Amino acid sequence: MGDTPHLRLDVEVLDRNIAAMAQRARAGGARLRPHAKTHKCPQVGRRQLAAGADGLTVATIGEAEVFAEAGVTDLFIAYPLWVDADAASRLRALAGRVRLAVGCDSAVAGANLAGLPLEVMVEVDSGHHRTGVRPADAGTLAAALAGSGLTVRGVFTFPGHSYAPGAGRGAAQEEAAALAEAARAMAAAGVPAGVTSGGSTPSVAFAGPGVVDELRPGVYVFGDAQQVELGTIGFDEVALTVVATVVSLAGGRVVTDAGSKALGADRAGWASGYGRVLGEPDARVVALSEHHSTISWPGPLPALGSRVLVVPNHVCNTVNLAREYHLSSGGTWPVAARGRNC
């Protein structure tokens, strides 16, 4: 224990990841609006903006408030908020700096936002089947929103079905097709899409040039075990690890103090375990409790009390569990929007 488990952020790798994604977007002729729910940290967001990002994406009003407070002036809350009186008043305070999402074609959804002095983006479902209307219905929805006084800025989708082995390219193709169809429908309805926005870390390498003109990947900034196992990145692109101490070798099992309260409990059906170990590519986190990770370790076992760098499966949930980043260069940055779920 002592000061483990804690987050370690390799700033050199972070900066490489930020530069590489900025370059990829530029090469594809797309603007970049990274999803800040991954890092929840103004210091990281400012580096993304300095590298050429147009603005940031967030998931909640609370996250928008944290980044607006830090001076970010162009935020997209890519979430179909249900806006009550309190939320409306918080959103009014952010007017001019945030753009909202509408992810449902119920008349109630539009009515719920009516009167807010904010631009909105129509969400379409490109195959992830979570929120968003069918692309063919984007025109009708956009016209209804415009009719109720809202300014419709464009259309977006999240190709989350890219999170499966080999699925990145196909998800990107469906994303491009959905956004193109939605843009046509919106143009036909007299509400042209000024922005067509997409992107996820596993699909962004395949994002349709000329169709998807804004990209919103999040995880790329840190990388995680899911991206390694999807083949999106190599271990050398993992910037964020959880520093853990080996607390037990009983029964020949390597057990560390990085459990689900430090790593998060994410485990996709296709994942090889609950996380990986930096520098030990054949090790696997095979069992996870709140304060224990049991690691299958192929080589000579690490010593009791030694430290290992665990690569979490899903870094967004990992970061949300911590108060701060410990930087490889010394010092800390706060996870300023930790737990800002509403």
Which positions lie near its own copies, rule CB under 8 A? Answer: 1-6, 37, 59-61, 79-87, 103-106, 108-109, 112, 125, 129-134, 160, 245-251, 253, 255, 257, 260-262, 264-267, 287, 289-292, 294, 303-305, 314, 316-317, 320-323, 339, 341-342
Nearer to its own copies, 99 or 267 (CB): 267
Q: How far is the CB of 81 from its own copies (least distance, A)?
A: 5
Per-residue DSSP letter, 51: T
Q: How far is the CB of 50 from its own copies (least distance, A)?
A: 26
| Cα–Cα distance, 229 to 222 (Å, whole number) | 15
| Cα–Cα distance, 326 to 334 (Å, whole number) | 9
Nearer to its own copies, 30 or 203 (CB): 203
Q: Is the backbone of residue 156 left (phi > 0), alpha (psi -120 to 50) or beta?
A: beta
Nearer to its own copies, 299 or 305 (CB): 305
Nearer to its own copies, 28 or 159 (CB): 159
Q: How far is the CB of 320 from its own copies (least distance, A)?
A: 5
Q: How far is the CB of 278 from its own copies (least distance, A)?
A: 19
Nearer to its own copies, 5 or 273 (CB): 5
Pairing of strands 293-296, 214-215: unpaired
Q: How far is the CB of 339 from its own copies (least distance, A)?
A: 6
Helices (H), the chain: 11-27, 42-50, 61-69, 85-93, 107-113, 138-147, 168-188, 225-230, 260-263, 315-319
3-state DSSP of 96-154: CCEEEEECCCCHHHHHHHCCCCCEEEEEECCCCCCCCECHHHHHHHHHHHHHCCCEEEE
